[in-house]
Structure 1
Amino acid sequence: MIEAEWWEYDSVDELADAVAGDVGFIIESAVDARNASLIAVPGGDAAAIFPKLAKQKLPWKRVTIIPTDDRLVPVDNDQSNAKGIAKAFLPAGARVMPIVSGAAEDYRLAGNAADARLQDLPWPPDLVWLGMGEDGHTASIFSGPDLQAALDAPKARRAVGVMPDPMPEDAAVARVTLTRAAILSARTILITLTGQDKRELLEGAIADGHSSKLPIGRVLAEVDQPIDIHWAP
């Protein structure tokens, strides 16, 4: 059974303050314990929390940040998650490592390249921070022909290329994503989301567990550690 603790806030700003504080604590604890920290962060709505986190006085030079997923676009493209992460955290002194190098003709090969990059990092991550789309995807684990590749990848595999189906209208490109095994290997898993509709969707996915038709439900069904879910209306 999935052990999830819900943290509820009256506003998105209150949620952002709390999550920034929690992530800062995770980073400090990791640096104290291992003299370095590796965290994976999402794009999307979570990016609004980045400035609050980046303002904290943390040992940023010992922190490496990767995207949980990214679109196969150049890193200077506005659709690139790595671009938004770099804008927020490079000035603070963190190391930001993209997992894609640009557009690619073969998204599966792009996934292989991303996996090779991640193999060079000390694993597991101290934190994998997830969001969730209105269709129930998380990271870039979407429904479609590559869902099982992302869910069933071996434990040693850290990233795969995926082609969402149906393709999101706002970003109609292939993606690279952390695998389920890579996500679940994290020392801490944290989810942020807003809105009643998403809350009900996630509650249903958690309740359905392995039988969930939503990617996030299938990912979380395999989780061993407790997860924290931060939610605001």
Structure 2
Amino acid sequence: MKQSIYESAEQLNQQFASRIAGLLEQGIAETGRASLVVSGGRTPQGMFKQLSEMDIDWSKVVITLADERWVPLSDDASNEKMVREHLLVNKASQASFVGLKNSAEQATDGVAQCNQAFDSIPTPFDVLILGMGEDGHTASLFPCSEQLSQGLDLSNQSHYIAVQPTTAPNWRMSLTLRALLDSKNTFVHLVGDSKRQVFEQALAGDDETEMPIRAVLKQSDVELVWAP
């Protein structure tokens, strides 16, 4: 597995943003459009700011989320809210965005609408950026959820799954493993020693139900991007 290790989060943010921009430019050159799938949380916010200022043809880029909490878009827990505030600004404001939270009251009722919207996202994804929780979850594929086996099932034809974690609040909408694996470039973006230790633990084992990120690491050519 390739690992890109940086001296600081600031160095990571700048160089990783430049790398992503280059991959998106490559996708645009090859097919006329490019897709970027991002994750929520605090970790990517600084990198998003750097990326938003990159000088590429953002009008040909489609951005979407690996997962979303089923909360109003005005809620601070909304990944879309964070992405709109930190990434879909500056030059990147010209990009198209495909959100996951839709008009369905329940996440389970929103899956079909998400699957329909998926058709507007160029696949395979040009860039997929995943995070990872301390419990080894990635996207919203949580080890504690009843829906995990369905999310990890590569024969599941749905692009999305509604998930209810038992160790975290809110129903979620998540890309399934099958959808996540359809990416040209997959990165796991982590910051801090504790996350590095969890990642090494994931690499050392095989049980995907214990640490769902193992399913991505096992099936896909993934690169770790990390800074202390």
Q: TM-score, normalised by structure 2?
A: 0.91
Structure 2 match to 1:76 = 74
Other-structure match for 1:125: 125
In the TM superposition, residue 207 of structure 1 has moved relative to its aligned partner by: 2.5
2:62 and 2:122 in contact (8 A); partners too:
no
**Code of the aligned partner of 1:78:** D
Match for residue 147 of structure 1?
148
1:90 deviates by: 4.7
CA deviation map 1:17-40 (0-9, x unaligned): 121011101110000111111110
Partner of 1:58: 56
Correspondence for 1:216: 213
Match of 2:95 in 1: 94
Say if 2:212 is the partner of 1:232.
no
Q: 1, 18, 21: which one pairs with 1:21?
A: 18
Taking the aligned partners of 1:154 and 1:89, their CA distance within structure 2 comes to: 34
Distance 1:57 1:108, change over 3 A: same
Over aligned residue pairs, what C-alpha RMSD do you find? 1.7
Q: Does 1:157 align with 2:158?
A: yes
DSSP-derived class of the 1:177 partner: strand
**What fraction of aligned residue pairs are identical, expressed as a percent?**
28
Check the 8 A contact 1:75/1:102 in 2, yes or no. no
Cα deviation for residue 121 of structure 1 reads: 2.8
CA contact under 8 A between 2:148 and 2:209: conserved in structure 1?
Answer: no
Q: In 2, distance between residues paired with 1:19 and 1:60? A: 17
Distance 1:81 1:211 in 2: 25
Counterparts of 1:60 and 1:35 in 2: how far apart (Å)? Answer: 11
Q: Corresponding residue for 2:201?
A: 204
- Taking structure 1 as the reference length, the TM-score comes to 0.89
Residues 1:173 and 2:161 are matched in the alignment: no
Contact 1:42-1:130 at 8 Å conserved across structures? yes
Count residues with an aligned counterpart: 223
